[in-house]
Amino acid sequence: MNPATTEFIRQRFTEYYKKTVLVSPSSLVQREWGFVLFNPGGAEMRMRRHIGFSSRDELAGYIQNLIPQHAYYSTAYYEKPDAGTMADKGWCGADLIFDLDADHIVRGPYDQMLARVKEETEKLIAMLIGEFGMDPKSIELVFSGGRGYHVHVKDIAFRGWGSAERRELIDYVCGIGIDPPAMLSGKLTAAPGWPKRYREALTEYLGWIGTQPEPEAMAHLTAIEGIGKDSAATFLNNREEIIAEIGRRPSGMILKNRVLGIIVAQQEGEFKKRLLSRAALADEPVTTDTKRLIRMPTSLHGGSGMRVQPLELRELHDFDPLTDAVVFGMRDVKVDAKFPLRMSMLGSTYEIQKGITTVPEAAAVFLCCRGIAEIA
């Protein structure tokens, strides 16, 4: 980002922060803060952290004076949040955080990535409420301003959890470490949970094999290491019986079928793909980190120019980040695009050519923050 572009973005951010009422997190005085400031022409992002505030007014004044490119606060609570080292801060617990980032899930056009990560967020919230019994009132949802969502669980019951306990929870959410015999044993139930999801994924996979022409089904099975032609043929002949057994008499004994045992043990492939489609693909390191810094709701994301938008859970389904988290307007701005692209924003689609072109201010801010264009 060249100096002229940096100044353009900083002016827009200044305009936003001067007129916006910022939302600060609960227990403000126990939070550590970190900020990345605008650095004209600089290639590195340097964070200024180990900062504490005694009031909302002090926080707002700091942001309005410095105009940060990025603003973060700690998910942890500290006795001395402004201490210069982590050891001196006095950790008092941390919120339970889930970070869903489209970059870790799917690649493609930005609007499609946002749509996909919303689906993962909806699955996660359904798990937290339906399977863990979490109170919806304790869950705070935030669009990150970039490529995903942050889910904050503020229930004090989780505050003292260490990384190990948080690891068990995120493993469950992501479907990590599932034991096939355990999933296929026990009573059939309509209750949500991994046994139900596992059986559905396995039944769907076996049904998919049955839709393939026999040569293709054989080729699929024999391509899996350890499955020969005779074993594959026998398995295909017994496929419907296996499906009926999964639905009628759930038992780990089903895996006595050698071919089925090989299939479910695979770390990749058609069955694994169907199984993971039922997980909520959250970022594991964020949840297990008890001293994480996370973006401040109502701040601006320096990599997109969009608002880090707090949401009610009921608002998620209809939320459109490319309209609802855009804070800048439609006045014309000339930019110099590095390559041609197609982008959606504020309900319109723009075909942007390489070189100098005129776009609405909201699109110009986004393109410049993303490093796709410079101010012309």
Give catalytic residue positions: 99, 101, 283
Complete DSSP assignment for 321-354: HHHHT------EEEEEESS-EEEEETTEEEEE-S
Name the token pair of 344: 């959606």
Helix, strand, coil: what percent of the chain each, to 5? 45, 20, 35
Q: How many CA atoms lie within 13 A of 341 on its CB side?
A: 19
Alpha-carbon span 7 to 332, nearest angstrom: 17
HEC assignment per residue over 237-297: HHHHHHHHHHHHCCCHHHHHCHHHHHHHHCCCCHHHHHHHCCCCCCCHHHHHCCCCEEECC
Distance CA 99, CA 212 (A): 38
Q: Is 64 exposed, middle or buried (CB count within 10 Å of its CB: 0-12, 13-18, 19+)?
A: middle
Query: Residue 363: CB partners within 8 Å, gap ≥ 6?
Result: 343, 345, 350, 352
**Strands, sheet with 68-74, edge to edge from the N-terminal-most edge strand:** 47-51, 33-37, 68-74, 293-295
- The amino acid present at 347, given as its one-letter code, is G
Cα 12 to Cα 31: distance, rounded to the nearest angstrom: 27
Q: From 89, 75, 69, select the one nearest 145 (Cα to Cα).
A: 69
CA 359 from centre of chain: 29
Residues in the chain: 376
Distances (CA, A) of 91 to 52, 95, 150: 14, 12, 22
Question: Cα torsion at 368, 372, 375, 376 (round to 10°)?
Answer: -170
A 10 A CB-CB count for 29 gives 13
